[in-house]
């Protein structure tokens, strides 16, 4: 007997529909799996046989041929266990063949017949809806994640026996219900951290506010204990809340990566990723033998924090240049390539020298001038050019630490950031893929960032004095545009240019002079 069921294969952050065709006939024995399966899929035969035995079923004694189409697409992972098992049972007559029509199955089988959760369920559910299927059957632990997709019925089961009973009409499973929007909206702005916890550092808070408003990258240079990490971890608290579309895209990436924390539905907060400086290039950028998103993609729509920046491998830092410009990562292999989005705000932190006390107001630096330059030289000029805001972080004075005056809360800063982002949204309306000032291309700079004579003269003098590159020139203009947006100014004024120039004080030619 011939039966057709449906499964999904993850490709990048999306999924491809896979048709699982099962044919049982005489003229041989055993199970034959074709359609370019990887080792995990090939091993499904043993898991399915054991699951059948422990679920009161028995594998057919005839020849079983399972084809996974399209045949030229490599099938990876254990998520094909359930669709193959259901297809075999339907071909054996143990499940009504009509009950599997219009249904996509995904899940890994344990040897005892229970269902284990798998990664990539959210894009699979999206693909099932786009293919016109009416429901998806998957492990119960993945049900809340898939339920965020509207227009498709999500059935979460715990065992193969339960799936068989449900398809035969012998057992009922209530469809998973998506989470309410009100809790989603409330959680999107609720953080344990707050900028009110940070004493002093007014100029650094201002720089981070500009970074949040315009999507600019920022590097903080300062002595140990000056508050760099504390400030960086609070940047997500002043970013605009995730929109529903951003939340869906962000959750898809984390689902494909198999990261914990997505089983409760959509992600409600912007991601904050802080990989250790020993992380490999593949861990940061993504890839591997079976490509998965790296830290730059897991930080999509959020913040990537690189602490102790010079301690990262040179190759790791240099590969950041492409995603910082193109906002995506393409992982290429001999037979295929996958694309992962990587639109993140980079926040980097580092000491000013090996001992950490160069330019410290009270402690003496023990490093030679040459060692300071070599230490800073670990960060290449092209990478530094792609960081819009360079901020020196000085230790907080004792009277500021012990002061009782209330500091500004993140909610108040976030209101100004949201207002500035709204002005940018109106400015870039109708422009595909451009949402913030940091994403403007040269043509947009000429259109939206016209400088008067005073601004041009001031910027020209800064270019000569700091020996800045053409890319740095564009960065200054973009930052000035964001400062003007925060001030609700339609035009860039000299004071906006002056403040933007102030955030290039750590450029190579000016550092240490």
Residue 391 CA: distances (Å) to CA of 351, 394, 456, 507: 12, 10, 23, 11
Which residues, including other chains, have CB under 8 Å from residue 500's CB and lie 6 or more apart? 476, 477, 479, 480, 483
Question: How high is the pLDDT of residue 440?
Answer: 92
Number of neighbours of residue 198 by Cβ within 10 angstroms: 20
Q: In 3-state terms, what secondary structure has residue 338?
A: strand
Dump pLDDT digits (tens) for 238-296.
999 998 889 999 999 999 988 855 445 788 889 999 999 999 999 999 988 778 899 99
> Considering Cα of 317, then 318, then 323, then 326, what sign does the dihedral take?
positive
* Phi then psi dihedrals of residue 32, to 5 deg: -120, 120
Point out the least confidently predicted range of 236-245, 306-315, 499-508.
499-508
What is the DSSP annotation of 199-258?
A: -S-HHHHHHHHHHHHHT--EEEEE-TTSSHHHHHTTGGGGSPPPPHHHHHHHHHHHHHHT
Dump pLDDT digits (tens) for 447-481.
999 999 999 999 999 888 878 778 788 999 999 99
253 Ramachandran zone, left/alpha/beta (phi>0; psi -120 to 50): alpha
CA separation for the pair 177, 128 (Å, rounded) = 17
Mean predicted confidence (pLDDT) in 112-134: 94
CA separation for the pair 133, 178 (Å, rounded) = 18
> Considering Cα of 5, then 56, then 51, then 262, what sign does the dihedral take?
positive
Q: Is the pTM of this model over 0.85?
A: yes
> Considering Cα of 275, then 279, then 284, then 287, what sign does the dihedral take?
negative
Point out the least confidently predicted range of 107-121, 268-282, 393-407, 416-430.
393-407
H/E stretch holding 464: helix 453-466
Residue 343 CA: distances (Å) to CA of 176, 213, 414: 31, 15, 20
CA separation for the pair 167, 270 (Å, rounded) = 39
Q: In 3-state terms, what secondary structure has residue 347?
A: strand
Which residue matches tokens 């009782």? 404
Question: What torsion do the CA atoms of 24, 27, 32, 35 make, to the nearest 10 degrees?
Answer: -80
CA separation for the pair 271, 209 (Å, rounded) = 17
Asked if 340 and 273 touch (Cβ cutoff 8 Å), the reply is no
pLDDT greater than 60 at residue 186:
no
Q: What is the mean pLDDT of the chain?
A: 89
């Amino acid at each position: 007997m011939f039966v057709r069921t449906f499964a999904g294969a993850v490709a990048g952050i999306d999924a491809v529909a896979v048709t699982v065709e099962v044919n049982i006939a005489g003229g041989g024995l055993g199970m034959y799996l074709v359609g370019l399966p990887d080792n995990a899929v090939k091993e499904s035969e043993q898991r399915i046989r054991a699951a059948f035995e422990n679920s009161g079923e028995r594998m057919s004694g005839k020849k079983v041929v399972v084809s996974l189409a399209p045949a030229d697409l490599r099938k990876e992972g254990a998520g094909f266990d359930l669709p193959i098992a259901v297809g075999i049972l339907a071909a054996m007559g143990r499940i009504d063949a009509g009950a599997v029509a219009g249904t996509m199955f995904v899940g890994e089988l344990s040897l005892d017949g229970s269902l284990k959760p798998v990664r990539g369920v959210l894009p699979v559910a999206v693909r099932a809806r786009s293919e016109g299927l009416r429901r998806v059957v998957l492990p119960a632990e993945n049900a809340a994640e898939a339920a965020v997709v509207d227009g498709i019925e999500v059935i979460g089961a715990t065992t193969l026996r339960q799936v068989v009973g449900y398809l035969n009409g012998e057992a009922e499973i209530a469809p998973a219900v998506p989470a309410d929007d009100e809790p989603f909206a409330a959680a999107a702005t609720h953080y344990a951290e707050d900028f009110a916890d940070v004493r002093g550092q007014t100029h650094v808070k201002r720089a981070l506010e500009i970074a949040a408003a315009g999507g600019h990258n920022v590097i903080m240079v300062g002595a140990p204990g000056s508050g760099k990490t504390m400030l960086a971890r609070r940047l997500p608290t002043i970013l605009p809340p995730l929109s529903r579309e951003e939340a869906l895209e962000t959750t898809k990436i984390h689902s494909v990566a198999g990261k914990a924390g997505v089983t409760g539905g959509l992600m409600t907060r912007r991601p904050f990723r802080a990989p250790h400086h020993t992380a490999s290039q593949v861990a940061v950028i993504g890839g591997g033998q079976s490509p998965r998103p790296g830290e730059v993609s897991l930080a999509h729509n959020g913040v990537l924090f690189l602490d102790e920046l010079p301690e990262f491998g040179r190759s790791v830092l240099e590969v950041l240049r492409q995603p910082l410009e193109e906002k995506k990562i393409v992982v290429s292999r001999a037979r295929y390539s996958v694309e992962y989005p990587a639109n993140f705000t980079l926040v980097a932190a580092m000491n000013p020298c090996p001992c950490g006390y160069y330019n410290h107001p009270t402690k003496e630096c023990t490093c030679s001038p040459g060692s300071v330059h070599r230490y800073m030289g670990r960060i290449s000029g092209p990478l530094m050019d792609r960081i819009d805001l360079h901020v020196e972080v000085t230790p907080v004075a004792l009277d500021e630490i012990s002061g009782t005056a209330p500091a500004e809360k993140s909610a108040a800063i976030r209101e100004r950031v949201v207002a500035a982002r709204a002005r940018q949204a109106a400015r870039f309306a109708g422009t595909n893929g451009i949402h913030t000032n940091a994403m403007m291309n040269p043509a947009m700079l000429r259109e939206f960032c016209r400088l008067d004579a005073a601004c041009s003269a001031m910027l020209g003098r800064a270019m000569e004095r700091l020996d800045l590159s053409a890319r740095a020139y564009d960065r200054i203009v973009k930052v000035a545009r964001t400062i003007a947006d925060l001030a609700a100014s339609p035009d860039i004024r000299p004071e906006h240019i002056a403040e933007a120039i102030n955030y290039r004080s750590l450029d190579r030619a000016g550092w240490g002079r």
